Copies of this chain bind each other. A is one copy, B any other.
Amino acid sequence: MLSEFDLIKQYFVRPQPGRATLGIGDDCALLTPSAGAQLAISTDMLVENRHFFAGADARCLGHKALAVNLSDLAAMGATPVAFTLALAIPKADRDWLKGFSSGLFELADLYGCELIGGDTTRGPLNICITVFGELAPGHGLRRSGALPGDDIWVSGTLGDARLALAGLRDEFPIDQESLALASLRMHLPDPRIALGRALAARSLAHAALDISDGLVGDLGHILEASGVGATVNVDALPAGPALAAQETAIRRQFCAQGGDDYELCFTANPSLREAILAAGSASNTPLTRVGTIESGAGLRLVDGAGAAVDLDAAGFDHFTLP
């Protein structure tokens, strides 16, 4: 017999008390915010066959469910503090729970982010995490501050997660080595917490977000929120190591429109290039300039020679209702 209480105790209550005044096991968790800090709060829900394939590795799922939430904190420049987990599972499978909780806590411990509460229930597999971070008031990296003339920066590399998806869907032939490399990126995204904190603490960025649905769609949110436009050089987009070996059309499209990257995209005054590259170095995060914010509305994609490129651009979107 594995009751709900035993399940929580066995797989989700940690031996070490953390920062929470009161954690798992009461009606609420109690958390005392640092004096003067602002709370950054984000929620993401992952659904089987929508955000991951049925039968996905439980350890990877535990990692990814938290990583996508931490990525939202990174995009805000917040320091992770704690999270809650609500979990619907079809049955209480001990191997799955062990794998899932291992992947979850490995990443949580890396960022000192404490599980303070949650809910478990039987139901179609659904993982909902709400994450809490802290930052100095006024230092949050919003989407709305981009200014004409700003550089557009992207962290790390893009498109490998999309390449892995193409492999899993058999969209076109991909060699095993490339697929294995790309799959790591899809299954184990690495939230850019250190970079986000550095950008926020030193007020280096005018606007920022994390790239979850594809650069084109996500950058569009910055443009809309800021009332500006942009030109992006699709050949400057930093392709992931597996994607870089693919033909140009695929490379461009997956870099520009592939989802699940969890890199940061941010805009900044060109006078700050050196400081930004230093922040990238200090946080061990490669940074690439990929375009420019402009006053004219709309996003213009160009190639390395400045000629217009049409990718039939549209970000990944969960709903379309006829």
Contact = CB atoms under 8 A, between A and B. Distances in A.
Contact of A26 (B44, B122, B126, B142): B142
A123 interface: yes
Stoichiometry, as copies per complex, reads 2
B43 A117 contact: yes
A119 B127 CA distance: 12
Interface string A293-322: 000000000000000000000000111111
Interface stretch (A86-94, A104-112, A155-163, A248-256): A86-94
Given A26-B143, A38-B21, A4 B317 contact: yes
A242 interface: no
Contacts of A76: 26-28, 30
Given A33-B33, A319-B4, A319-B92, A128 B45 contact: yes
Interface in A1-42: 1-5, 7, 21-22, 25-33, 35, 37-42
B32 A318 contact: no
Given A25-B143, A48-B123, 13 more contacts: A3-B319, A4-B318, A21-B140, A27-B42, A27-B72, A27-B73, A28-B42, A32-B39, A43-B86, A45-B121, A47-B122, A84-B130, A124-B124
Interface of A: 1-5, 7, 21-22, 25-33, 35, 37-45, 47-51, 72-73, 75-76, 78, 84-88, 91-92, 116-124, 126, 128, 130, 132-133, 135, 137, 140-144, 208-210, 225, 317-322
10 contacts: A1-B320, A2-B320, A4-B318, A25-B143, A27-B75, A30-B40, A31-B39, A33-B37, A48-B123, A121-B318
